[in-house]
């Protein structure tokens, strides 16, 4: 899920190559508009709000953990708390 700023053919091709569905509204000047699952697109604010809540934890926002596994562990812990 993304907003109109990410509406490029190359970006959508990468998403489809990964066998995922691109839920991105077409720009106004696009020649051939893609279909959009509006119901799913409306739920994108849940993802945005979750990231805002994650950023309230300074350890996550500033990435104190040097190892990826430790950072993933902190993300998991904070996700449970949220």
Torsion of CA 75, 3, 40, 30, to 10 degrees: -150
Is the pTM for the entire model greater than 0.85? no
pLDDT in tens, 43-52: 888 888 888 9
> Would you kindly state where each structural domain of the chain is located, as residue ranges?
1-42, 50-82
∠ CA 61-73-52, nearest 5°, is 30
Residue 14 binned pLDDT confidence (cut-offs 50, 70, 90): very high
């Amino acid at each position: 899920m993304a907003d109109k700023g990410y509406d490029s053919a190359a970006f959508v091709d990468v998403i489809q190559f990964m066998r995922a569905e691109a839920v991105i509204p077409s720009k106004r000047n696009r020649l051939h508009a893609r279909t959009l699952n509006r119901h799913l697109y409306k739920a994108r604010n849940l993802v945005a709000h979750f990231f805002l809540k994650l950023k309230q934890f300074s350890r996550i926002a500033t990435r104190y953990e040097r190892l990826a596994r430790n950072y993933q562990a902190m993300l998991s812990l904070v996700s449970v708390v949220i």
